[in-house]
Amino acid sequence: MKILNVLAAVVGLSFVGSANAADITIFYSPTCPHCHHARDFISNNLIYEYADLKVSEVNVMNVDNRQAFVDALYKCGYKTGGVPVLVVGEKCFQGYADTMQDEMRAAVEADLTDEQKSAAVANKAELEKDRDAFVAAHADRKDAISEKDNQKKNDE
């Protein structure tokens, strides 16, 4: 019985250690000002605050991406196709306003450990203290944002 308890504890610890930030998929239009603001918030703040965050950008003006957008609207229960639509883990947001930032952070943090949440708070404080130095020291975080390959081919 003790062996089973030890094994359960080890397995439980491995799950605790593997928590990641909820990934973000943002459906956007290049001509949408709210989309630009949402993308700026994500690329200038969230990717630096959350070290494991991955962001997928999907241009809804690309015909190859329309079905993915329709699927996201259905999943989120939205009746209109307004953008941006942000899918953060299991939570959805339609539109963007600065007042949504804390709610978006909470959605990103849904499965994080207390230690990971504390690290994000510390990263945010460092980012606010000296943005240029923090961004330079974490330049690899720009790789956290990607678009579908078919978008890049069609946009070129």
Domain range annotation of the chain: 23-155
3-state secondary structure of 1: coil
Q: Is residue 84 very low, low, confident or very high in pLDDT (cuts 50, 70, 90)?
A: very high
Mean pLDDT of 1-17: 37
3-state secondary structure of 30: coil
> Please, which residues bridge with residue 87 across strands?
25, 92
Mean pLDDT of 29-46: 97
| The pLDDT of residue 11 | 36
Mean pLDDT of 28-55: 96
Mean pLDDT of 100-116: 94
Cβ-contact 65, 154 below 8 angstroms: no
Question: What average pLDDT does the structure give for the chain?
Answer: 85
The CATH code that applies to domain 23-155 is: 3.40.30.10
Residue 34, φ and ψ in degrees, nearest 5: -65, -35
